[in-house]
Amino acid sequence: MSTVEMEVFSNAQLILLTIFMFLGGEVFTSLLGLQLMKFKRSHQIQKTENKIDRFSTDADCSTSIPTNAFDQIELGVTSQDQQLGNDQKPDSIPESRISFQAQESINRASDLLAFSILCYLLVVHLLGSVSISIYNNTIPSANEVLRKKGLNLITFSVFTTVSTFANCGFVPTNENMMVFKKNSGLLLIIFPQLLLGNTLYPACLRYFIWFLSKITKRSEFADLLKNPRALGYDHLFSDLHSIFLAITVFGFILAQFVLFCLLEWHSGATAGLTAYEKLVGSLFQVVNSRHAGESVFDLSLITPAIIVLFVLMMYLPPYTSFLPIKDGKCFPATEKKTRAKRKNILDYLLFSQLTYIVLFVILICITEREKLKEDPLNFNLLSIVVEVISGYGNVGFSMGYSCGRQLKPSNNCKDASYGFAGKWSTQGKFILIIVMFFGRLKKFNTKGGKAWRLS
Angle between helices 426-440 and 353-367 (to 10 degrees): 170
For the segment 173-201, the average pLDDT, to the nearest whole number, is: 92
Q: What per-residue confidence (pLDDT) applies to 417?
A: 72
**Element containing residue 218 per DSSP (H, E):** none
Q: What per-residue confidence (pLDDT) applies to 163?
A: 93
pLDDT at 444 over 70: no
Whether 431 contacts 364, CB under 8 Å: yes
Asked if residue 359 belongs to a domain, the reply is yes
Q: What per-residue confidence (pLDDT) applies to 209?
A: 92
Q: What per-residue confidence (pLDDT) applies to 43?
A: 67
Count of domains observed in the chain: 2
Q: How far apart are CA 447 and CA 352, in angstroms?
A: 7
Asked if residue 114 belongs to a domain, the reply is yes
pLDDT at 40 over 90: no
Pick from 175, 183, 176: which is nearest to 144 by CA? 183
Q: What per-residue confidence (pLDDT) applies to 337?
A: 47
Range of the structural domain that residue 33 is part of: 6-51+64-196
Asked if residue 99 belongs to a domain, the reply is yes
Q: What per-residue confidence (pLDDT) applies to 188?
A: 95
Which pTM value belongs to this model? 0.80
DSSP letter string over 100-156? HHHHHHHHHHHHHHHHHHHHHHHHHHHHHHHHHHHHHHH-HHHHHHHHHHT--HHHH
Asked if residue 423 belongs to a domain, the reply is yes
Q: Which of 196, 211, 235 is the last residue of a domain?
A: 196
pLDDT at 98 over 60: no
Q: What is the pLDDT of residues 106-131, one digit of tens each?
A: 778 888 899 999 999 999 999 999 99
Q: Which of 172, 196, 220 is the last residue of a domain?
A: 196
pLDDT at 88 over 80: no
Residues near 434 by beta carbon (within 8 Å), at least 6 away in sequence: 360
Q: What is the percentage of the chain residues whose pLDDT exceeds 70?
A: 77
Q: How sure is the predictor about 399, in pLDDT bands with cuts at 50, 70 and 90?
A: confident
Q: What per-residue confidence (pLDDT) applies to 398?
A: 87
Give the gyration radius of the chain's Cα atoms: 26
Ramachandran area for residue 76 (φ above 0: left; ψ -120 to 50: alpha; else beta): left
For the segment 274-286, the average pLDDT, to the nearest whole number, is: 95
Q: How far apart are CA 257 and CA 60, in angstroms?
A: 70
77 versus 206: the higher-pLDDT residue is 206
For the segment 35-43, the average pLDDT, to the nearest whole number, is: 76
Asked if residue 167 belongs to a domain, the reply is yes
Top-ranked range on mean pLDDT: pick from 221-225, 263-267, 319-323, 347-351? 263-267
Q: What per-residue confidence (pLDDT) applies to 84?
A: 40
Q: How far apart are CA 445 and CA 420, in angstroms?
A: 28
AA identity, residue 436: M
Work out the mean pLDDT of the chain and round it to a whole number: 81
Q: What per-residue confidence (pLDDT) applies to 453?
A: 64
For the segment 312-337, the average pLDDT, to the nearest whole number, is: 67
Q: What per-residue confidence (pLDDT) applies to 345?
A: 59
Asked if residue 68 belongs to a domain, the reply is yes
Sign of CA dihedral 170, 175, 178, 183: negative
Asked if residue 281 belongs to a domain, the reply is no
Pick from 292, 285, 125: which is nearest to 194 by CA? 292
pLDDT at 292 over 70: yes
Q: What is the pLDDT of residues 346-395, one digit of tens each?
A: 565 677 788 889 999 999 999 999 999 988 888 999 999 999 999 898 88
> CA geometry: angle at 187 spanning 241 and 2, to 5°?
90
Q: What per-residue confidence (pLDDT) applies to 159?
A: 96
Asked if residue 272 belongs to a domain, the reply is no
**Element containing residue 74 per DSSP (H, E):** strand 73-74
Q: Which of 176, 196, 216 is the last residue of a domain?
A: 196
For the segment 53-72, the average pLDDT, to the nearest whole number, is: 49
pLDDT at 341 over 60: no
Q: How far apart are CA 238 and CA 227, in angstroms?
A: 8
Q: What per-residue confidence (pLDDT) applies to 86?
A: 45
Q: What is the pLDDT of residues 403-436, one digit of tens each?
A: 888 888 877 887 777 788 888 999 999 999 999 9
Q: Extract the runs of DSSP E, i.e. beta strands, from 275-357.
A: 325-326, 329-330
